[in-house]
């Protein structure tokens, strides 16, 4: 009908919660992660979003989203995180950690068994080795190209195909074996 006001179209509610993303929050997460703190520990703080939310910002980075560009910044922070792990590994391997090892023995005496405790203070080498090995494993997984094993299962698309960098030599080229 002529002259009637038609209400403006309402935006369609796509559901879900509004994003907690702000540039300040993202920068705090990235700064803390780059300086070696684990994402799970960062996200445990009360004012932080859940770890899955932060990972979704990284994985679902699209133009037009509030968090557009987050994945690139996260990748840089992860590189710095790896460098921090490398430095921490060196520090752990170079710094002795004194600890106590208690050995309990039972000695038979005329009055029966007697407990004898022996306490030694020494470097906790096994514990430090575990810490260093764990960090080396994490570094190899986080920066596989630079620090991982040369032949990784993740580099092979499937069990039957092996990708060779630069490709295989063509027939007639050096390195190509002709069948006999």
Is 39 inside any structural domain? yes
At residue 118, the pLDDT reads 93
Is 1 inside any structural domain? no
At residue 176, the pLDDT reads 45
At residue 180, the pLDDT reads 40
Is 12 inside any structural domain? no
pLDDT in tens, the chain (180 residues): 556 655 555 555 455 566 788 999 999 999 999 999 999 999 999 999 999 999 999 888 888 888 888 999 999 999 999 999 999 999 998 988 888 889 999 999 898 899 999 999 988 888 889 999 999 999 898 888 888 876 455 554 444 444 445 554 566 665 544 444
CATH number at residue 145: 1.10.10.60
At residue 27, the pLDDT reads 95
**Single pTM value for the model:** 0.60
Is 87 inside any structural domain? yes
Is 113 inside any structural domain? yes
Q: Are 42 and 29 in contact (CB under 8 A)?
A: yes
Is 139 inside any structural domain? yes
The structural domain count of the chain equals: 1
SS3 for the chain is: CCCCCCCCCCCCCCCCCCCCCCHHHHHHHHHHHHCCCCHHHHCCCCCCCCHHHHHHHHHCCCCCCCCCCHHHHHHHHHHHHHHHHHHHHHHHHHCCCEEEEEEEEEEEECCEEEEEEEEEEEECHHHHHHHHHHHHHHHHHHCHHHHCCCCCHHHCCECCECCCCCCCCCCCCCCCCCCC
At residue 143, the pLDDT reads 87
Is 73 inside any structural domain? yes
Is 131 inside any structural domain? yes
Domain, as residue range, for 77:
23-149
For 119-131, the pLDDT digits (tens) are 999 888 888 899 9
At residue 145, the pLDDT reads 86
């Amino acid at each position: 009908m002529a002259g009637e006001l038609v209400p403006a179209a309402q935006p369609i509610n796509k559901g879900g919660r509004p994003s907690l993303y702000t540039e300040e929050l993202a920068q705090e997460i990235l700064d803390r992660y780059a300086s070696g703190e684990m994402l799970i520990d960062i996200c445990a703080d009360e004012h932080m979003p859940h770890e899955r939310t932060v990972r979704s910002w990284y994985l679902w980075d699209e133009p037009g989203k509030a968090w557009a560009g987050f994945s690139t910044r996260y990748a840089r922070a992860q590189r710095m995180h790896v460098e921090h792990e490398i430095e921490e590994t060196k520090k752990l391997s170079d710094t002795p950690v004194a600890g106590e090892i208690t050995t309990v023995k039972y000695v038979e005496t005329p009055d029966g068994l007697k407990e004898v405790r022996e306490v030694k203070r020494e470097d906790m080498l096994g514990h430090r080795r575990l810490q260093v090995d764990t960090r080396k494993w994490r570094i190899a997984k986080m920066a596989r190209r630079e620090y991982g094993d040369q032949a990784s299962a993740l580099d092979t698309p499937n069990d039957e195909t092996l990708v060779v960098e630069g490709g295989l030599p063509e027939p007639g080229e050096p390195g190509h074996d002709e069948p006999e």
